[in-house]
Amino acid sequence: MIERTYIIANWKMNKKIGDTESFLGALCNEQFPSHCVVGIAPSFTSLFVAHNLLSRSQTAHIGLYAQNMSQEQSGAFTGEVSLSMLAECGVENVIIGHSERRQLFGESDISIEKKLKTLLQHSTLHATLCVGETIEQRENGNTTTVLREQLTHALSHLSSEQLSRISIAYEPVWAIGTGKSASPQIAQESHAYIREVLVDLYNREQSDNIPLLYGGSVKSNTASDLLAMSDINGLLVGGASLVYEEFIKIIRTCGEKK
């Protein structure tokens, strides 16, 4: 049973170092609901300064996330960032398979599986695995098929310890950056299905202990209804997390789900 609620900010390719310092300088002085887990995924160039700021926070812990990683540990891979580099910056959790990585950069289920296995086998870091369907796949009635394929590719044959370091974010591609958010009911249906796939892959107890987050044009006026759904344990917030006041409103919504 998931007793905590996760509110994770994905800043994507936004906010330079000075912007990161200003935002986190204020966030570190906030008080969060005790069961609320807050995380920030800044750009690669801001990771180290973000770690320094967050490690000095006197309030509730704020987790440091990375937006992506290489499937390779080192070598001649120009422009890539390795797992060990992220760990050195204080990263605790890596977002893997974000819909923009799949859609814009051609990441496949196979490459996402390799990234996840690299993280799980060569570190103690946690991962947030993103899954979700396109509008064409949904309109053709293939949502469940897509979700099962994505989950099965990434999560088969993991140990109990490895599985305990994974969260899953359901991100319908048609709701990413479009301003369209899945209704709470649609989001709940997909989260419930993801939970059942996890039962099939492992068992009910392990499935029930994996946090499921919703991502897709989340805003402060939709957060409460989404978090009211029984299988939604948190939110992966994109554009709304760039505006401090909006992100704080979403975090405070977390206090309504206990």
Catalytic residue ranges: 98, 171
Residue 94 dihedral angles phi and psi, to the nearest 5°: -120, 130
Q: Are 35 and 5 in contact (CB under 8 A)?
A: yes
For residues 76-112, one letter each, b for 16 or more C-beta atoms within 10 angstroms of the residue's C-beta and e for the rest, the string is: eeeeebbbebbbebebbbbbbbbbbbbeeeebebebb
The string of DSSP letters for 17-77 reads HHHHHHHHHHHTT----TTEEEEEE--GGGHHHHHHHHHT-SSS-EEEEES---SSSSSS-
For residue 157, how far is the Cα from the chain centroid? 22
